[in-house]
Structure 1
Amino acid sequence: MLNHLKAWRERGWAVIDANEYAHTWQRFGGSVATHPLVVEQLAELAQIPVRYLGWRQGGELVAAVPTWGRHLALSKDVLKRHGKKGLFDLGNAELILPAAVDAAAPLRHAGRYLSELNHGRFEGLKPQAEQLAMARPHEDLSKKFRYNQRRELRLLEEAGGVVRPITDFSGAEIAAMYCDLFQRRWSFPATGAARMDEVVERLRELLIGSVLFLEDKPIAIQLIYRVESPEWISVEYVNGGVDPETKAFSPGSVLSFLNTQAAWEDANARGKALRFSFGRADREYKDRWCNPVPVYQA
């Protein structure tokens, strides 16, 4: 019965290797959670093999998907079934699967938070009740809001605050700062804390952003991953941590301002669209930074 269902899901698709998947992604683009490095590294960490499938038209590979059984790879449901719930954290990541604009490949593997960019590339998408929060360009933020962010940054710097690029630090240092500040902010451990240093080290080349320091101690950090497609840049803000004792300086807000501004400047310099996702549109603070966008499920 299981083999019959698998044959039904995969009809018209053919097994491809990781290199073919990577080539398809580089050609057509995708998002952080479908990036070849992210899929490979996190699947290896989970010790769950990925089955890559390709869709061809006229002998040409026009779409590809990474799968775990009947789900798309890195599925939280599959991790839970394998007793590995919370092994790593990508938040509720936007899924853009690599495909030609008009591929119309049938998507029969389960997945959530599928981007609207998948329309036309895949068939079988159904509207999802939740939405994702996508960062607005800074020029769309009110002048007063932008002024306040710059003022808070200036006050922090005048008090001795320092902004340092996250690339200054090792994977272990980033993981330690993040887990400590997350625990302080929320009073419970970050998802994936037990293996955070390994996850960060595996994906470190994709990390972007800054870390805020005050009196030589980290006070705010965000885990943000960035990947570049031919036409757009996909950025996934997974989560962050702040020292609640420094809330008078609004370090979390200051860091969001700096990190989104840098991402927009990077995208504009490259002449590409930016998809900077704050995850699910479920918190009031995200309304200040983002526009809600529809997502789909398969």
Structure 2
Amino acid sequence: MLSHLRLWREQGWTPIDAATYAELWQRFGGSVATHPQVVERLAGLAGIPVRYLGWRERGELRAALPTWGRHLALSKDVLKRQGKRGLFDLGNAEIILPMAPQARVALRHRARYVSDLHAEHISSLREQAEGLALAREPEQYSKKFRYNQRREQRLLEEAGGVIRPMLELSAAEQAAIYAELFQRRWGFEATGKAHLTEVFALLREFMTGSLIYLNDEPVAIQVLYRVEAPQWVSLEYINGGVDPQTRDFSPGSVLSFVNTQAAWAEARALGKPLRYSFGRADREYKDRWCHRVPVYQV
């Protein structure tokens, strides 16, 4: 029975190796959650093998996907079922699969937060009730909004605030600061707290952004992962933490401003559009920074 289900699920798909998947990602693009090294390293941490599949049209590979059984690789459902819930946190990351622009694909593996870039290319998609929050371009913020953000940054810096790159810190330092500020902000532990140092070390080359210190103490941090595809830059804002006692200086808002501005500047220097995802469009603060776009599931 199981083999029949897999035959149905994989109809039109053929097994490929990890190197071929990586080649297709570099040719057709993808997102943080489908990047070959992100998939390989986090799957290795979980100890769950990845089965890579390719879709052929007229004899040529035109799409690819990494799978864990009937799910896309790195699925929270699979981690939970294997007793590894919360091993790592990718938030509700946008799923962009390596796919040729004109490909038409039948996807039968379970997936959520599939990008609207695939809306016309995957016949089995249905729109999710909640949208995805993608950061607006800098010019799409009002003049008053930009003025207020710059003013908050100036006041924070005048009070002793310092903005430092995340990569100045070791993975262990990042993990300790993130775990502490997340706990202070939300009142419960960060997902995967026990493995944060290992995950941050595995994904270090993809980590970007800054954190904020006030009087030599860290007060705001955001976990951001960034990958560059041929056609765009994909950036995931996974989660963050902030010291509530410093809310008068709005360090979380300042950090969002600093990080989004820097990401847009980098993408524009490369001449590529930026897909800066805040994940599920489920909180009011995301509406200040983002516009909502449709997102799909299988």
TM-score (norm 1): 0.98
Q: How much has 1:215 moved relative to structure 2?
A: 1.3
Residue of structure 1 in register with 2:278 after alignment: 278
- Runs of 5+ in structure 1 lacking a partner? none
Residue of structure 2 in register with 1:86 after alignment: 86
Residue of structure 2 in register with 1:297 after alignment: 297
The answer to whether structure 1 residue 212 and structure 2 residue 251 are counterparts is: no
How far apart, CA to CA, are the structure 2 residues paired with 1:64 and 1:120?
Answer: 16
How far apart, CA to CA, are the structure 1 residues paired with 2:152 and 2:73?
Answer: 41
- Runs of 5+ in structure 2 lacking a partner? none
Residue of structure 1 in register with 2:69 after alignment: 69
How far apart, CA to CA, are the structure 2 residues paired with 1:209 and 1:58?
Answer: 42
Residue of structure 2 in register with 1:23 after alignment: 23
How far apart, CA to CA, are the structure 2 residues paired with 1:26 and 1:100?
Answer: 11
- For residues 259-291 of structure 1, what are the alpha-carbon distances to aligned partners after superposition, in whole Å with 9 as ceiling and x for unaligned? 000011111111111100001000000110000
How far apart, CA to CA, are the structure 1 residues paired with 2:22 and 2:119?
Answer: 21
How far apart, CA to CA, are the structure 2 residues paired with 1:41 and 1:120?
Answer: 31
8 Å contact from structure 1 (residues 96, 114) kept in 2: yes
Which contiguous aligned blocks of 4+ residues in structure 1 show a shift greater than 6 angstroms?
none
Amino acid at match of 2:265: E
Tell me the secondary structure at the aligned position of residue 74 of structure 1.
coil
Residue of structure 2 in register with 1:201 after alignment: 201
Q: How much has 1:296 moved relative to structure 2?
A: 0.6
Q: Any residues of structure 2 matched to 1:160-171 within 5 Å, and which?
A: 160-171=160-171
Residue of structure 2 in register with 1:145 after alignment: 145
Residue of structure 1 in register with 2:44 after alignment: 44
Residue of structure 2 in register with 1:183 after alignment: 183
**What root-mean-square deviation, in Å, do the aligned CA atoms of Structure 1 and Structure 2 show?**
0.8
Amino acid at match of 2:6: K
How far apart, CA to CA, are the structure 2 residues paired with 1:213 and 1:43?
Answer: 34
Tell me the secondary structure at the aligned position of residue 235 of structure 1.
strand
Tell me the secondary structure at the aligned position of residue 203 of structure 2.
helix
How far apart, CA to CA, are the structure 2 residues paired with 1:189 and 1:234?
Answer: 27
Q: How much has 1:88 moved relative to structure 2?
A: 0.7
Residue of structure 2 in register with 1:173 after alignment: 173
The answer to whether structure 1 residue 3 and structure 2 residue 3 are counterparts is: yes
Q: Any residues of structure 2 matched to 1:242-253 within 5 Å, and which?
A: 242-253=242-253
The answer to whether structure 1 residue 56 and structure 2 residue 56 are counterparts is: yes
8 Å contact from structure 1 (residues 103, 120) kept in 2: no
Amino acid at match of 2:8: W
Q: How much has 1:152 moved relative to structure 2?
A: 0.8
The answer to whether structure 1 residue 259 and structure 2 residue 259 are counterparts is: yes
- For residues 9-38 of structure 1, what are the alpha-carbon distances to aligned partners after superposition, in whole Å with 9 as ceiling and x for unaligned? 112211111110011000000000011111
How far apart, CA to CA, are the structure 2 residues paired with 1:207 and 1:46?
Answer: 20
8 Å contact from structure 1 (residues 102, 120) kept in 2: no
Q: How much has 1:121 moved relative to structure 2?
A: 3.5
TM-score (norm 2): 0.98
Amino acid at match of 1:104: R
Number of residues of Structure 1 aligned to a counterpart in Structure 2? 298
Tell me the secondary structure at the aligned position of residue 114 of structure 1.
coil
Tell me the secondary structure at the aligned position of residue 177 of structure 1.
helix
Q: How much has 1:100 moved relative to structure 2?
A: 0.2
Q: Any residues of structure 2 matched to 1:224-243 within 5 Å, and which?
A: 224-243=224-243
How far apart, CA to CA, are the structure 2 residues paired with 1:280 and 1:120?
Answer: 21
Tell me the secondary structure at the aligned position of residue 38 of structure 1.
helix
8 Å contact from structure 1 (residues 68, 78) kept in 2: yes
Residue of structure 2 in register with 1:131 after alignment: 131
Q: How much has 1:217 moved relative to structure 2?
A: 1.0
Q: How much has 1:138 moved relative to structure 2?
A: 1.2
- For residues 239-272 of structure 1, what are the alpha-carbon distances to aligned partners after superposition, in whole Å with 9 as ceiling and x for unaligned? 0001111111000000000000001111111111
